[in-house]
Amino acid sequence: MSSEIDYYELLEVTRDANDGTLKSAYRKLAMRWHPDKNPGDAAAEAKFKQINEAYDVLKDPQKRAAYDRFGHAAFQNGGPGAGGFGGGFQGGGAEFGDIGDIFESIFGNAFGGGGGGGRQQARRGADLRYDLEIGLEDAFHGKTVEIEIEVATACEPCKGSGATPGTGKRRCNLCGGHGKVRAQQGFFMVERTCPTCHGRGEVVEKPCGSCHGEGRVDQRQKLEVTIPKGVDTGTRIRLSGKGEAGPHGAAAGDLYIFLHLRRHNVFDRDGTTLVTRAPISITTAALGGQIEIPGLDGQKHVIEIPAGIQTGKQLRKRGAGMPVLNGRGVGDMVVEIAVETPTRLTARQKELLEEFRATETGEESPETKGFFDRIKEAWNDLTE
């Protein structure tokens, strides 16, 4: 370690600098003197090593206290701070103590950096998706359905710990409980997740025979799902904690139920509006009348047909549509009229229609009269 230059002077900070000031100063200087930015410059490389050495001491409260009291002697000849480097990591020397901070400042967490380099937190179980198809009537009234899924659940014998009952866990010998190990690759010191404990910092002494130390096993489960009134295709229902159990006793994820509505044989749906198409006879269209449409609410809704109605006309029945999801109120029913021309007529019916045609003046069907008037005008324009 350097014995000539004061560590605070190396980092260009005062002796009362806090952790944030130290880290900011270190990053700035390390990026400035990094060998990649100063290729072939031996002085820059030496400066870079000194900066890392200084920061490795001052960022650690115990090492910093020893340095403030004894100076460089604290780390020489068996001094009170000697042997304090490495912290249980392989190859954990001071020269490359916080190179990871440099890359994190440039790239953020794009490569999975954790910011602190310590053991990983217990990994939460994965969220799961289940697609459920229901009928339009179920969406109208609401329903409770039972589903069955296969999911990783906490192991019952070991209660999710992964250890044989009566045994426990111990600190990982490879990483010393830190969850990460370091290995030198050329000039750089690379930090990676410990392959033995997978970042947890501890290992199971005797793995559970049921889950083989994983803390979870695959099981089929039956769950009840409450479907509220007014749901539609794409509505998502979350069952908290019903997803995949986390490894080694970690919290479970959530289960998301995605709803899909089957096509109905009478109604189409547009939000809270129910839309249907109703054919009527030409006599009803001409004279007016009534039709009945059975609603999803179990009632027969009377639709008044005004005289002279045309195909495509939409009639609205207030309050006969879908309920509002998680709210109050009900949408409407819209009936689209289709005037149907008869195809099978009795002799008497044909006779009556012939009599009617004989009395037509054109005023009975203004749209037809207007159309042929425009045709006549267009023809005259072409022939003049």
The amino acid occupying position 152 is: A
3-state secondary structure 52-91: HHHHHHHCCHHHHHHHHHHHHHHHCCCCCCCCCCCCCCCC
With 0-12 CB in 10 A as exposed, 13-18 as middle and 19+ as buried, what is 63? Answer: buried
Please check if 194 is assigned to a binding site.
Answer: yes
372 known ligand binder: no
> Taking the alpha carbons of 52, 54, 58, 62 in that order, is the dihedral positive or negative?
positive
Longest Cα–Cα distance in the chain: 126
- Residue 374's alpha-carbon distances to 207, 310, 357, 377, 382, in angstroms, are 90, 20, 22, 5, 13
- Judge whether 71 is annotated as a binding position: no
Closest CA to 95 of 145, 135, 35: 35
Tell whether residue 172 is among the known ligand binding residues: yes
Check the annotation: does 175 bind a ligand: yes
**211 annotated ligand binder:** yes
155 annotated to a ligand binding site: yes
Distance, in Å, from the CA atom of 321 to the CA atom of 331, rounded to the nearest integer, reads 4
Token pair belonging to 71: 């100076």
Q: Please name which of 253, 255, 252, 277 lies closest in space to residue 264, comparing C-alpha atoms.
A: 277
**Angle value at C-alpha 142, between 137 and 148, nearest 5 degrees:** 100
Q: Is 197 annotated as a binding residue?
A: yes
> Tell me, what amino acid is at 295?
G
Q: Looking at the chain, list the stretches that DSSP marks H as alpha helix, in order from N- to C-terminal side.
A: 7-11, 19-33, 42-58, 61-70, 99-107, 136-141, 282-287, 347-359, 366-383
Binding residues: 155, 158, 172, 175, 194, 197, 208, 211
Q: Residues annotated in the binding site for Zn(2+), as ranges?
A: 155, 158, 172, 175, 194, 197, 208, 211
